[in-house]
């Protein structure tokens, strides 16, 4: 188990896009700016998807142009296709990484992007190639890597095969997404060594949802399997609309609290992160699912003796 891990905050994209009420651009910017001052070194800030598909992210360009983050904070954007990449590249000096995505399930991929897996791979090869030519780091995320609500079991060999094609296209990082919260710790512990053996040359990232309350347990299982890179969302924002009652991504502050208490460094200032979560709670006007934002960080200060 590693002594340090890397965490990418995906709340401003993966989290915000699931909110039903439009979040003002000004609020998005100040939340990102706060997150960038917590010690987080990687933040996914927005996506260049069609505005009519995800209206919440229609202000992608405005957000990118307005954020003010310290040196050393890497900003990433999600791009669905070549057109999305073209729009993003108009603001090339404002971000450092791109993420692309597809599903390991044919049914989920068709419902999500109206393409077969093969068609998605054909398009993503072009996107990844152009992104690398532009000097951008590229992560490819494989959704439903641990199971699909439509097809059930997703063969691990299929996931590894898709990942290999993405790596051969130029992806430097592969994210394995538990999109609908179907993963369990034993499964996670067994699969990541297989994927590491198949993909020895790239960074492997775990992306867990907390739909069934197993997010932190899956993080621990991935750590035990040697994973050092994770994605999470402050306030437990996000989630997939497919499973009934789905909650969001595993909460960043819960992950950071657990890891730091275990002596595993994240480089993140937990109290500052809790402040950011309080800010987004106030913006959204509703309670959030994360635990540390409610209970606060662990306080090991001895209680004063009673009189």
* Cα distance between residue 148 and residue 242, in whole Å: 10
CA distances, 169 to each of 98, 99, 128, 177, 189 (Å): 14, 13, 7, 19, 27
Give the torsion through C-alpha atoms of 223, 226, 230, 235, to 10 deg. 0
Pairing status of strand 173-178 against strand 6-9: unpaired
| Contact in structure between 224 and 1 (CB atoms under 8 Å) | yes
> What region, left, alpha or beta, does residue 21 occupy, with left being phi > 0 and alpha being psi -120 to 50 degrees?
beta
Q: For the chain, state the CA radius of gyration.
A: 19
Give the H/E segment covering residue 285. Answer: none
Residue 56 DSSP one-character state: G
Question: Tokens representing 307?
Answer: 């009189």
Q: 12: Cβ–Cβ under 8 A, 6 or more apart, which residues?
A: 28, 31, 32, 35, 43, 44, 45, 46, 63
Q: Which of 137, 161, 154, 305 is nearest to 229 (CA)?
A: 137
CA distances, 100 to each of 162, 165, 171 (Å): 13, 13, 9
Which residues are the active-site residues?
240
């Amino acid at each position: 188990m590693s002594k340090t891990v890397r965490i990418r905050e995906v709340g401003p994209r993966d989290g915000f896009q699931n909110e039903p009420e439009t979040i003002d651009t000004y609020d998005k910017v100040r939340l990102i700016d706060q997150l960038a001052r917590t010690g987080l070194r990687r933040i996914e800030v927005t996506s260049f998807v069609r505005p009519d598909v995800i209206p919440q992210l229609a202000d992608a360009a405005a957000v990118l142009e307005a954020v003010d983050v310290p040196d050393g904070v890497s900003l990433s954007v999600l791009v669905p296709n070549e057109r999305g990449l073209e729009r993003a590249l108009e603001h090339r000096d404002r971000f450092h990484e791109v993420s692309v995505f597809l599903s390991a399930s044919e049914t989920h991929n068709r419902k999500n992007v109206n393409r077969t897996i093969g068609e998605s791979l054909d398009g993503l090869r072009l996107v990844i190639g152009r992104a690398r030519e532009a000097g951008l780091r590229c992560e490819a995320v494989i959704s439903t890597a641990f199971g699909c609500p439509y097809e059930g079991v997703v063969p691990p060999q299929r996931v590894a095969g898709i990942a290999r094609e993405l790596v051969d296209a130029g992806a430097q990082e592969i994210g394995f997404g538990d999109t609908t919260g179907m993963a369990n710790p034993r499964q996670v512990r067994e699969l990541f060594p297989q994927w590491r053996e198949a993909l020895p040359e790239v960074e492997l990232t775990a992306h867990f949802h907390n739909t069934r309350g197993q997010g932190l347990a899956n993080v621990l299982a991935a750590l035990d399997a040697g994973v050092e890179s994770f994605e999470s969302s402050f306030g437990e924002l996000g989630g997939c609309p497919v499973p009934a009652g789905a909650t969001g991504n595993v909460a960043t502050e819960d992950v950071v609290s657990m890891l730091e208490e275990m002596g595993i460094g994240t480089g993140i200032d937990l109290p500052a992160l809790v402040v950011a979560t309080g800010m987004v709670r106030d913006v959204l006007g509703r309670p959030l699912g994360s635990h540390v934002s409610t209970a606060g960080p662990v306080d090991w200060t001895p209680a004063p003796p009673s009189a």
